[in-house]
């Protein structure tokens, strides 16, 4: 059986970020799922792959979307959850400037309302403009916002860094955007 790593990555993102119940999976509060249980339930639901296929997707992911537990028995999405999870990430001092890539059609609303998590738990920010550009291109013609992360932190906003390097915060008010 040949498994398409892109399709498997999309499936894992869907299940681990948004709909674990689609295959009867329950995530632990920190977002972790037992790998053997995930493979078993996915196979029973019609998405067939092996433990080794999953590990190959995790190792080969340039975006590092998934994290493995220290004992190698569990997996979770690094960030991007719409289901309630508590990643347990400690607050960190962010770079002075962070970036957010979006489509130009959303720019006016963002200038007015700031950045909101929308369907996800937190706003995603990039530490470099090139990554934000790639993210914005996924949604249409890209628009890049600079985020005054040091100004936000000075005002008490907290920042967290996911295992894959994505910066997370709960909201970015418009006064911190350029």
* Burial classification of residue 149, based on how many CB atoms lie within 10 Å of its CB (0-12 exposed, 13-18 middle, 19 or more buried): buried
Please, which residues bridge with residue 77 across strands? 66
**β partners of residue 34:** 74
Domain that holds residue 156: 97-176
Q: What is the mean pLDDT of residues 89-110?
A: 96
The model's confidence at residue 80, banded by pLDDT at 50, 70 and 90, is: confident
Query: Is it the case that residue 153 has pLDDT exceeding 90?
Result: yes
Cα three-residue angle 20-137-119, rounded to 5 degrees: 35
Whether 121 shows a pLDDT value over 90: the answer reads no
Higher pLDDT pick, 86 / 95: 95
Q: 175: closest CA among 82, 126, 110?
A: 110
- How many Å apart are CA 48 and CA 51, to the nearest integer? 10
Neighbouring C-beta atoms of residue 157, cutoff 10 Å: 17
Q: Residue 82 domain-assigned? A: no
Same domain, 104 and 172: yes
156 in the same domain as 115: yes
Q: Using the predicted structure, report yes or no on whether residue 74 has a pLDDT greater than 80.
A: yes
Between 1 and 16, the more confident residue is 16
112 and 48 share one domain? no
Q: What is the pLDDT at residue 63?
A: 78
Residue 74 to residue 37: CA distance in whole angstroms: 9
Distance CA 94, CA 144 (A): 18
Q: Structural domain tally of the chain?
A: 2
Q: What's the pLDDT band for 60 if we cut at 50, 70, 90?
A: confident
pLDDT of residue 171: 97
Confidence (pLDDT) at 141: 94
Same domain, 50 and 118: no
Which residue in 67, 84, 63, 66 sits closest to 126, CA to CA? Answer: 63
Mean pLDDT of 41-61: 94
pLDDT, residue 119, reads 80
Distance, first Cα to last Cα, the chain? 49
Q: Residue 172's domain is classified under what CATH number?
A: 3.20.170.30
């Amino acid at each position: 059986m040949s498994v398409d790593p892109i399709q498997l990555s999309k499936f894992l993102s869907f299940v681990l970020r948004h709909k674990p119940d689609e295959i009867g999976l329950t995530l632990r509060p920190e977002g972790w799922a037992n790998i053997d249980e995930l493979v078993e339930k996915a196979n029973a639901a019609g998405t067939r792959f092996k433990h080794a296929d999953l590990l190959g997707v995790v190792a080969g992911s340039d975006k590092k979307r998934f994290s493995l537990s220290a004992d190698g028995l569990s997996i979770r999405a690094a960030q991007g959850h719409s289901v309630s999870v508590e990643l347990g990430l400690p607050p960190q001092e962010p770079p002075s400037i962070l970036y957010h890539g979006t489509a130009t059609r959303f720019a006016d609303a963002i200038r007015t309302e700031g950045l909101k998590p929308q369907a996800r738990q937190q706003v995603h920010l990039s530490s470099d403009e090139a990554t934000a550009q790639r993210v914005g291109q996924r949604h249409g013609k890209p628009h890049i916002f600079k985020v005054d992360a040091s100004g936000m932190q000075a005002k008490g906003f907290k920042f967290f860094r996911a295992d894959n390097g994505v910066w997370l915060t709960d909201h970015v008010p418009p006064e911190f955007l350029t």
